Amino acid sequence: MSRRVGTPMNKVVLSSVNVVRLQRGGGRFEVACYPNKVVDYRSGTETDLDEVLQIRTVFKNVSKGVATPKKDLAKVFPKMSVDDVCREILRSGQLQVSARERGAASEALIRDVAGIVAERVVDAATGAFLPPASVERLLRDEANFAPSATRSAKQQALDVIKILERDHGLRRAPMELRV
């Protein structure tokens, strides 16, 4: 008799998976999605469920691999197919975002804010524009800027400009009009 231990053939490894979770009717319903595809689906750029979902199954717990029984789905989502339930979960469920994705989004937001600020401020002494890298360094090191995911980059840039004018010797760039 062989003592060879094999790997299960039906096991799906959750290495790069985003989970979208919906609480409804006293139950928890989850779907396993490809990273960054949920945002594309919600914005309307991606419409194909096969491109968004890793597997067309509704789970009670994705990480444990526990699928939701069909009677529970029928009770909470009457007269809806599994695909329609998946669409509903994708539309109105909560997206679980990893720390790495949050960090990347925060970095991108800081770069956006720095770019907007660099377009709109000049050095008060020389009147020269600052490069975005210098503004970004100033935001991180001296202005103690912490980006907020709930406000747009433009709103945050306008607040930062006020702080930089007050504390760091910068001023708004004069507007140039063509006639």
Residue 5 within a domain: no
Instruction: Show which of 95, 110, 140 is a domain's final residue.
Output: 95
Instruction: Show which of 72, 95, 118 is a domain's final residue.
Output: 95
Residue 13 within a domain: no
Over residues 13-65, the pLDDT tens digits come to 666 788 899 998 888 999 999 888 888 888 888 888 889 898 889 999 988 88
Residue 80 within a domain: yes
With contact defined as beta carbons under 8 Å apart, do 32 and 51 qualify? no
State how far the Cα of 118 lies from the Cα of 24, in Å rounded to an integer. 46
Distance from chain centroid for Cα 125: 40
Residue-number span of the structural domain to which 51 is assigned: 18-95
Domain count, the chain: 2
What predicted TM-score, i.e. pTM, was given to this entire model?
A: 0.61
